[in-house]
Structures are given as C-alpha cells and as structure tokens.
Amino acid sequence: MKSSRNVMTFAGGIHPHGDGKSLSCYTPVQTAPLLDKYLVILAQNAGKAPVPVVKKGDTVKKYQLLAQADGVISANLHSPTSGVVSDIREIQGTMGVPTPAIEITSDGLDEGASPFDPITDWKNVDVEQLKQRVVEAGIVGMGGASFPTHVKLSPPEGKTVDTLILNGAECEPYLTADHRLMQEFPEKVIRGAAIFGRILNIKNIFVGVEINKLDAIAALEHYAEEYGVKVAYLRVRYPQGSEKQLINAITGRTVKSGTLPMDAGCVVQNVATCAALDDAVTLGIPLVERIVTVTGEVVVHPGNFKLKIGTPALEAVRFAGGITEEPGKLVFGGPMMGFAQRSFQVPVCKNTSGILLIPQKQAYNFESSGCIHCGRCVQGCPMHLVPCLLSTAIEAGRFDLAEANHVMDCMECGSCAYVCPDHRPLVQNVRRAKAELRKQMNANKEK
C-alpha cells in the first residue's frame, strides 16, 4: 500500500537502527488472565496523588473508586477488579523511590457494574457533562507524561485553541501498543478524538501516524471522514511524537521556548487517551486497564497485552511466555526515554506503554572521554540546542551557562546521546543541571 499524501516531519531528530518493532507489531492484542493480586500505585498522575477513600479490609468491586483526586492537577483512581483491599503500603515505584500503593486481592469474579451512565448522545449533551466524565473516569495522558487530561480541556482566558492533534506516531523503538490499538480499535480512537473536539469546540482535528504503520493508517481512515478527523502521514523519525515536534510537523507552527502548545493554538492527546475517553463516555467505564507492549530479544513471545492497572512486571512477562535468559535491564517504556527498574514487582500504571527486557550484551555501561566537537548531537537535537556545549558547561559546574543556553528546554529524548561517537553522558548531565537549577530556584523563593 502506497500513499500519495504529503509526508510531514520536523527538523532534527534521528532514526534509530534496528528499532525492534517487528518483535511485537504483528501480534494481535491479548487480554491477560486475572491475577490473585494487584498493586495499584496512588501516584499515577502528574501533580498531587489522589487520596484513598478505602481502607484495609474493605470489599471493592471492579471500577469502584479507590482514591479521590486531590485538587485540580490530580486524578481519580479506580479498582481494576473485584476483591478485598488486603493492604495499603509503600512499594517501590516506577521512579525507584518508595510510593504508597493499594493492594487488591482478587475474589476471582472480576465483577463490577459501570459506575457511570453511558453518554450515547455525546454530540448533543452539554459540554460540561463531557468534561465532568473525564474527571470522574480518572483519565490522564497515556503517552508517558500522565498529566490529568481534564486540565487540557479548559484553555485559560485569552488563549484560542483551534487545532487538536492526536499522537499516533509511536516513534520510540520497540513499542507497538499504540500501533495495535489504532489497527484493532480504530473507531474508539477516532470517536474519542471527535469527543475531545466537541469539548474544545474544535473542528480542525488531526491524527498523526508514521508511515511505517500503513495498516493502522488504513484502519483509521475507514472512520476518519465520518467523525471529521484528518489522518496526517508522518515521516519515520524520532522523536516525532513529542508535542512540539508533532505540532511543527503537522501545522508548521512553532511552540516557543517557555510556552505551551496552547500558546500555538494546539492541544495534543495520545491515541490511547482518546480510546480511554471513548470508553468513559460511551460505555461509562473508568481507566483501569491499558494495552502494554511486553518485548525484548530475551522475551519468549513478545506482544501487546491488555493489562489491568496494578499488574506487576513479573506477571506481564509471564503472560508473554517468560524469558530465554536473564535480562541485563528491565525498562518501563522504550530504550530512548524509558526508565530502568530495579524490581520485577513494579506494577503497570496508567502511563506504562511498554515493558522492555534488554539482553545482558546490550546493557553494558559505556566509557567516555572529552567531547571531540563532531557536531552530531547538534544535528540530531530536535530542540535546536547545542548538547555538547551544555554538557561541557555542566561538567565544569557552570549551571548558569547551561541555563543561558536553554538547558531547561531539553526534552531529554536522548537523540544526542544516541549519535555521540564518544558515548558522552549528555542526557544525564542535563538532568543534573535541571535538578540543580530547580533547587536554586526553590531556595530563592524561600528567601
């Protein structure tokens, strides 16, 4: 299948060789069997964690509210199955620090009535009712950031938003969860986008998909015209799915330093978030499960699995047939922007797009020396920064110089580190600088 459409992209970026997508992209989504226990981490959204409304010993049903949003930038949390709250304790979270979690011991029935009435006539109901459903269902950005979705649906006074963009690029190597979602459940994605458009009063709606997913593009286009959505063809380029790069590729607009997509008249949502919204509106179901890619060369049967929130990584790997050898690293997300985990007991959260097992031979540590000034990091940086200059300044303790050269604009995509022939710790240095600058900023506020 070939397209005559224009293929869009942005300036900069890279194309990682051997992206590993073929391991899992051809296998249909499988629903994981019910487990005995689930560990539901409270802090599954950017902002404040929700406050538990259940206690140890309580009986719960599937979809029942477990924790109430605490303030505007927070999100409700619901039970992934029916059973008993067997414990509320701290466990190791996805960022490697202890975090509170609610343990649900399943009763084996997986029973629960939909807590909300379906909104079948979503095209005509009051928009506030649709916004409230987003809040009630605990929907967050499922592409990684986990920002509470309802916050994006109320642009501040003075900001005019005229374009909605769905991120279906899935440019991160190895991950194919969004690919399978778009191919197998295209109407959910497109209808979810149309509901977002209704809430925002936007007619200009695009779903951006890289052209290595032509089967998904065909599936989406089958429904796109019916719901007033346009499919934008994107060049295979990392990090194509980043908000600023996606906006630039599709609209030609630039999100200026220190501003948000809304300042460029755009709102960006992940395709999985759109599908979750469709479930919340048309079925009355909160966000309690998601499609996750479980993959890697050491996984017996890599694939995409519909997993309940709270599923330990160990169980997810078992669903994929286990491993052929001891992995060198366990990563939540992809190899470019994912986070290595110290335990297979870390559970799936709302923003867990992938569980990647990296072989021992690929998990070794690099040694580096001084910058050789080749300029490859500059060519690859999608934010048009000078990573080599930033890194050298940071290593010299010149955080002021790094700040002056826009280190805070770095999205930590890893493109610079990937192309560096000397394997310089460019991203690690940037993270160090950001932490130091935030520390200084907080100290100044307290004076």
Closest CA to 229 of 281, 194, 188: 194
Residue with tokens 């050298």: 392
The Cα–Cα gap between 418 and 412 comes to 12
Tokens 């916050």 correspond to what residue? Answer: 151
The whole model's pTM is what? Answer: 0.94
16 in helix, strand or coil?
coil
Fold held by 7-26+116-283: Rossmann fold (3.40.50)
Question: How does 76-100 read in b/e, with b if 16+ C-beta sit within 10 Å?
Answer: bbbbbbbbbbbebeebbbbeeeebb
What is the pLDDT at residue 96?
84
Q: Which two tokens stand for residue 375?
A: 């300029």
pLDDT of 1 reads: 31
* Distance (Å) of CA 379 to CA 40, 75, 99, 281, 418: 42, 39, 39, 44, 12
Residue 198: strand, helix, or coil:
helix
Burial 224-259 (b: 16+ CB within 10 A, else e): beebebebbbbbebbbbbbbbbbbbbbbeeebeeee
Model confidence over 324-356: pLDDT tens digits?
Answer: 999 999 999 999 999 999 999 999 999 999 999
Give the SS3 label for residue 322.
coil
* Token pair in block for residue 201: 């009063």
- Number of neighbours of residue 326 by Cβ within 10 angstroms: 9
| Residue 36, token pair as written in the block | 């005995």
pLDDT on residue 256: 93
pLDDT tens digits for the chain (447 residues)? Answer: 334 478 999 999 999 888 999 999 999 999 999 999 999 999 999 999 999 999 999 999 999 999 999 999 999 999 999 999 999 999 999 888 899 999 999 999 999 988 899 999 999 999 999 999 999 999 999 987 899 999 999 888 888 999 999 999 999 999 999 999 999 999 999 999 999 999 999 999 999 999 999 999 999 999 999 999 999 999 999 999 999 999 999 999 999 998 999 999 999 999 999 999 999 999 999 999 999 999 999 999 999 999 999 999 999 999 999 999 999 999 999 999 999 999 999 999 999 999 999 999 887 666 777 899 999 999 999 999 999 999 999 999 999 999 999 999 999 999 999 999 999 999 999 999 999 999 998 888 776
What pLDDT, on a 0 to 100 scale, did the predictor assign at position 447?
Answer: 67
Which residues have CB under 8 Å from 277's CB, separation 6+? 134, 137, 139, 149, 192, 195, 196
For residue 85, what are the β-bridge partners?
A: 104
* The pLDDT of residue 188: 98
Query: Which regions of the chain carry the CATH code 3.40.50.11540?
Result: 7-26+116-283
Measured in degrees and rounded to the nearest 5, phi and psi for residue 60 equal -130, 155
Spatial contact of 189 and 227, defined as CB atoms under 8 Å apart: no
How far apart, in whole angstroms, are the C-alpha atoms of residue 246 and residue 196? 18
Contact status, residue 104 vs residue 84, Cβ threshold 8 Å: yes
Pairing between strand 98-106 and 83-92? Answer: antiparallel
* Cβ pair 292, 177 in contact under 8 A: yes
The neighbouring-strand residues paired with 234 are: 8, 210
pLDDT of residue 296: 97
pLDDT score of 2: 37
pLDDT (tens digit, 9 = 90+) per residue, 366-400? 677 789 999 999 999 999 999 999 999 999 999 99
The pair of structure tokens assigned to 292 is: 């996750």
